[in-house]
Amino acid sequence: MSDIRELPWPVPDVRFRHWAGQFADMHDLVRDLVIPPSLPQAAESVMTTARELIRMSYYRYEFLMIGAATSIIAIETALTGRYGAASLASHLKKAREDGLLTDEQYGLLDGFGRPIRNKYAHGDLTHAALTPPLAIGIVRTSLTILAELHALPGP
């Protein structure tokens, strides 16, 4: 006989009660996070993971931050491919200067996304505060930017 304990079935995270009454409501929250077919397979995989982390945050609220951070890492990788090695902050500024990011997108990615990505990378994510609409906005912006970056020729 094994001493392995069964993991409990996931239960809804009480912090999500204001955003979704049941897991099925999460489908509506992420419905417009459509992965563009033009993305390379690696970017598609990362962004699908980011979207699904948002959906699964119904069971673990911190998945919101991890989903948003994951989408920012995909942006960072794409911008590094376009501009070369530099900091994410530098890449975001350059992308805004080049017209790849609107001021609103830049504000969302630099003001919210970059700090979340940094907290995630440094193991301090549990203290980040993020609402579902903000996390969804970050992932949506990341999808938009990735689609644009992969549709444009390099500099």
Of residues 43 and 23, more confidently modeled: 23
Evaluate whether residue 6 is within a structural domain.
no
Evaluate whether residue 1 is within a structural domain.
no
Evaluate whether residue 110 is within a structural domain.
yes
pLDDT of residue 119: 80
Evaluate whether residue 9 is within a structural domain.
no
How many beta carbons lie within 10 A of that of residue 122, not counting itself? 8
> Cβ neighbours of residue 127 under 8 Å, at least 6 residues apart?
119
Q: How far is the C-alpha of 31 from the C-alpha of 9, rounded, in Å?
A: 25
Torsion of CA 87, 79, 42, 115, to 10 degrees: 40
Q: How far is the C-alpha of 113 from the C-alpha of 30, rounded, in Å?
A: 18
Q: Specify whether the CB–CB gap between 152 and 120 falls below 8 A.
A: no
pLDDT of residue 154: 56
Q: How many domains does the chain have?
A: 1
- What's 101's domain CATH number? 1.20.120
pLDDT beyond 90 at 85: yes
Average pLDDT score, the chain: 88
Rounded (to 5) percent helix, strand, coil in the chain:
65, 0, 35
pLDDT beyond 80 at 153: no
pLDDT beyond 80 at 127: no
Q: Specify whether the CB–CB gap between 123 and 51 falls below 8 A.
A: no
- Under the banding of pLDDT at 50, 70 and 90, the label for residue 12 is very high
Q: Specify whether the CB–CB gap between 25 and 67 falls below 8 A.
A: no
Evaluate whether residue 20 is within a structural domain.
yes
Evaluate whether residue 4 is within a structural domain.
no
Q: How far is the C-alpha of 51 from the C-alpha of 148, rounded, in Å?
A: 18
- Under the banding of pLDDT at 50, 70 and 90, the label for residue 152 is low
* Mean pLDDT (whole number) for 13-26: 93
Evaluate whether residue 44 is within a structural domain.
yes
pLDDT of residue 136: 94
> Cβ neighbours of residue 31 under 8 Å, at least 6 residues apart?
none
pTM to 2 decimals?
A: 0.84
Evaluate whether residue 129 is within a structural domain.
yes
| pLDDT tens-place string over residues 60-84 | 998 998 999 899 989 988 899 889 9
What does DSSP assign to residue 155?
-
Q: Which domain holds residue 86?
A: 14-151
